[in-house]
Amino acid sequence: MKLKIRHTLFFRFFWTLVLLGVMPMAISAFFLVATYQSRIADKVSSGVADELLRNASIQFFLIFLFVLIIATFSAFIVSRNISRPLRTLTEAARLIGEGNLNIQIKVSRRDEIGNLGSFFNEMAGNLKEVQERQAEISRLKSEFITVAAHQLRTPLSIMKWSHHTILDGDVGKVPIKQRELIEKAEVANESMIRLVHNLLDAARIEEGRFGYKFDSMDVRAFLHELVDEKKIFAENKNTKLELKDSTSGPVEISGDKERLAMAVGNIIDNAVRYTPPNGTVSVSLEYDDAKLRITIHDNGAGIPQKDQEKLFTKFYRAQSTMHVETEGTGLGLFIAKNVVEGHNGSIWFESHEGQGTSFFISLPAKGSLQAAVNKSYDTFVKNI
């Protein structure tokens, strides 16, 4: 950030020193003129008087020039002695604000600025320690979730197999009342299985093990197939699901079909889930040589402004949507965002409470996956 010259320490020190030097000169000049008029003017000739005034003027000019030189030099020394360490601290604070906590400032001074540098180093060290502690807690939480989810998969799969065996009549005829109860248990079991899968996917994303298998895929055919699959879910919710395709012919990209189906499918599911009966959810595809864009629009409850900035975070669900539909884990959009960004794409939304929501997914039309770069920061070392 650039400062205007009049706001710099040098400028302020310079004018302070100039004023401090000029004020005694002005007072001296005032008394000199007063003394001249009362004691000398009537005792010397006009030529001598003019010469005296001329000599006094030259002396005052030389003194003023000397004051300017001293003020400039002193202001430079003082401001440099203060502003340089302040710039170092400012740069270090900027890096911390960007998330780089590998900050260490060499402190060689014993004054107040040196104390400030020492306190800054201590603060940076504490922040780094907190960050590392939080990372370790997050790792342990992810590890616990992974272990718990893995342990749940086997009994849930057994329950699913048992429900299907009973409902198919393989163990005998099932009375209508018992069938209804088993079907409800099957629905609950499927919800638990989806939760386990989402938990495992979220844990893999955080651990960097959420891999992709990139192949050439036709996004147009992919969307038609996905929307056809989701229409059954939409019909059960009395919601119309439609696809608006403005493209013609295949739309080829390099992508992971299974992961993209998970991401786009999660958003479509949310749109259907939070759209009131007899509402409409539309999925549209636009394409040009540079990129393609998938839009999922609904006319549902919308997302409150206070919830929008947290929507892509893990386990977060907007308060208004919780009153509409209790099903859901708060992981769908977190996973979708990571999948889209894993394809070098971007995802965003526009929403107004009570007026519906539109999600936008932009993907490179003919791009290839670029390996993720792990950001690393060098230790910031400077003397103050």
Q: Which CATH number is associated with domain 215-364?
A: 3.30.565.10
Contact indicator for 281, 271 with CB cutoff of 8 Å = yes
Angle (CA) 208 210 211, round 5°: 110
Please spell the DSSP secondary structure of 209-226, one letter per residue.
------EEEEHHHHHHHH
Predicted pLDDT of residue 373: 37
Local confidence band at 42 (pLDDT 50, 70, 90 cut-offs):
low
Q: What is the Cα–Cα distance from 58 to 371, expressed in whole angstroms? A: 74
**Which pLDDT tens digit goes with each residue over 56-110?**
777 777 777 877 777 777 777 776 677 777 778 878 888 887 777 777 777 777 7
In the beta sheet, which residues pair with residue 364?
291
Confidence category of residue 329, pLDDT binned at 50, 70, 90? low
Q: Are 332 and 318 in contact (CB under 8 A)?
A: no
Rounded CA-CA distance 383/104 in Å is 10
Residue 359 confidence class, pLDDT cut points 50, 70, 90:
very high
Rounded Cα distance, 296 and 359, in Å: 5
C-alpha distances out from residue 384 to 79, 94, 128, 215, Å:
13, 16, 21, 54
CA distance between the termini of the chain: 20
Provide the percentage of residues in the chain whose pLDDT is more than 90. 5
C-alpha pair distances (Å), 138 with each of 208, 316, 318, 330, 375: 13, 16, 23, 17, 19
User: Do residues 98 and 166 make contact, with C-beta atoms less than 8 angstroms apart?
Assistant: no
Whether 367 shows a pLDDT value over 50: the answer reads no
Q: With 80 as the cut, is the pLDDT of residue 325 above it?
A: no
More confident residue, 193 or 341: 341
- Whether the pLDDT of residue 344 is over 70: the answer is yes
Q: What is the pLDDT of residue 7?
A: 54
Nearest alpha carbon to residue 347 among 274, 276, 275, 270: 270
- Other Cβ atoms within 10 Å of 171 Cβ, number: 10
Residue type, 101: L
CA atoms within 13 A on the CB side of 313: 7
Q: How far apart are CA 255 and CA 105, in angstroms?
A: 45
> How far is the C-alpha of 53 from the C-alpha of 215, rounded, in Å?
94
* Beta-sheet strands, E only, within 208-279: 215-218, 240-245, 252-255
- Domain ranges for the chain: 5-98, 99-212+373-384, 215-364
Alpha-carbon gap, residue 205 to 214, rounded angstroms: 17
Provide mean pLDDT across the span 280-284.
Answer: 91
